[in-house]
Amino acid sequence: MMSVIHDTTLSPVKKVGRIFLRVLIYALLVLGAALIVFPFVWMVLGSFKTPLDANSAEFRFLPVEWVTNNYTDLFTNTNFPIIKAFFNTVIVEVSVIVVGTFVSALAAFSFAKLKLQHKTFWLLFLMSGMMVPYAALMLPQFRAFQSMNMFDTLWPLILPGFFGNVSMIFFLVQYMRGIPNAILEAARIDGAGHFTSFVCVMFPLVKTAIAAQVIFWFIGIWNDYFAPSIYLITPDRMTLQALLGSLNPAQNRQYLPMALAGAVLSSIPMFVIYLSCQKFFIESLAISGVKG
């Protein structure tokens, strides 16, 4: 159906028509791409403007004067300590992902390969949590963390992650089922216990699947805004997104170029990860939709 363009049996007139069609399609795709790219270009341009320039009533596309102090301010201004925010974000990322991934993979191993009683029940039990919105859990958790003196610390963002990630568990259960039982049997005959066969046999076999899930989780945590904005109020304790939110130029226009500079800086690590793993992002996404 789709090979219209390369159909050699077409008459020259029709061929010209096909070429025209193809040019038109490219033009539309480039237009769409421009719409996608533009906000990022605008972000970068704005980050080099002075507050006066960025907020000026007279519209200018390029900065009147290219200034870098929006960036340098972020590194020196104690109200918006982006370096600290970066490290806070990394602390949340590393602790949640290291512990949470291990816990999730171990649970998935049990669901996929061990003789677990009431397997269906437990799986449905965990799955039912996926349909509860965070907003319906937020208030009791907020009160509890407050009463444990964990308000304005990173703990409310870290602790829930220690118990694993349900969507990661489900993904890994499906993946681990594809691993032949014979491999695990062999380990068992050699005297390996269940934990050893998980660590030494299963884990190395599903590394890539786990890596895939880790990247998605990493980006989710990196971009998470709601919980950090609720719990963190001291700039020194904020994650990157909470800090960016506190700079919101819709509330204070003077912050605009600095907020844009912060947006640029906080996006760079994401872009690096996304572009280096792009193939795998697109493929994982495509699979999720087709399987539904």
Partner 1 sequence: MYPDELVRTAGEELPSPRVPKKKKVSVQERKEHLIAFLFILPPIVGFLIFTALSVVFTFVYSFQGYNSLSGISENVGFANYIDLFTHVTRAPLFGKAIVNTIVLLLSVPFSMILGLILAGLLRLGEIKGSKFFQVLYYVPAVSSAVALNIVWNYIFRSNGVFNTLLGLDVIWLDGDVTIKVAIIFKNSLNAMGGAMILYLAGMLNVPKDLYEASSLDGAGKVRQFFSITLPLISPVTFYLLITGVIGGLQSYADAQVFAAGNTGATTIVYFIWQQGIQGNNNQGLASAASVLLAVLIMIVTLIQFKFSNKWVYEE
Write out the binding residues for partner 1, residues 139-158 only, by CB under 8 A.
139-143
Contact 237/154 with Cβ under 8 angstroms? yes
Contact 104/216 with Cβ under 8 angstroms? no
For residue 38, the minimal CB distance to partner 1 (Å) is: 8
Residue length of the chain: 292
For residue 141, the minimal CB distance to partner 1 (Å) is: 5
For partner 1, the binding residue among 62, 83, 94, 137 (CB under 8 A) is 137
For partner 1, the binding residue among 135, 204, 208, 234 (CB under 8 A) is 135
Residues 6+ apart with CB under 8 A from 68: 48
For partner 1, the binding residue among 8, 12, 61, 189 (CB under 8 A) is 61
For residue 63, the minimal CB distance to partner 1 (Å) is: 13
For partner 1, the binding residue among 7, 15, 21, 200 (CB under 8 A) is 21
Residues 192-231 close enough to bind partner 1 by CB under 8 A: 193-195, 198, 219, 222-223, 225-226, 229-230
Contact 205/179 with Cβ under 8 angstroms? yes
Q: How far apart, in whole angstroms, are the C-alpha atoms of residue 246 and residue 110?
A: 43
Residues 6+ apart with CB under 8 A from 121: none
Residues 268-287 close enough to bind partner 1 by CB under 8 A: 270-271, 274-275, 278-279, 281-282, 285-287
Residue 43 in the binding site for partner 1 (CB under 8 A): yes
Distances in whole angstroms, Cα of residue 43 to Cα of each of 3, 30, 40, 100, 258: 40, 20, 5, 34, 10
For residue 94, the minimal CB distance to partner 1 (Å) is: 18
Residue 51 in the binding site for partner 1 (CB under 8 A): no
Which tokens is 90 given? 């990394």
Residue 182 in the binding site for partner 1 (CB under 8 A): no
For residue 232, the minimal CB distance to partner 1 (Å) is: 12
Residues 86-125 close enough to bind partner 1 by CB under 8 A: 103-104, 106-107, 109-112, 114-117, 119-120, 122-125
Residue 189 in the binding site for partner 1 (CB under 8 A): no
For partner 1, the binding residue among 16, 17, 29, 83 (CB under 8 A) is 29
Site string for partner 1, 229-268 (x = CB under 8 A): xx---------xx--xx-xxxxx----x--xx-xx--xx-
Q: How far apart, in whole angstroms, are the C-alpha atoms of residue 10 and residue 14?
A: 6
Contact 96/221 with Cβ under 8 angstroms? yes
Which tokens is 104 given? 């999730």
- 56 versus 68: smaller Cβ distance to partner 1: 56
Which tokens is 53 given? 């320039």
Residue 290 in the binding site for partner 1 (CB under 8 A): yes
Distances in whole angstroms, Cα of residue 260 to Cα of each of 37, 88, 237, 253, 265: 15, 20, 21, 11, 9
Residue 177 in the binding site for partner 1 (CB under 8 A): yes
Q: Which residue has the tokens 């980006």?
A: 219
For residue 76, the minimal CB distance to partner 1 (Å) is: 21
Residue 8 in the binding site for partner 1 (CB under 8 A): no
Q: Residue 200 has what DSSP assignment?
A: I
Q: How far apart, in whole angstroms, are the C-alpha atoms of residue 47 and residue 69?
A: 9
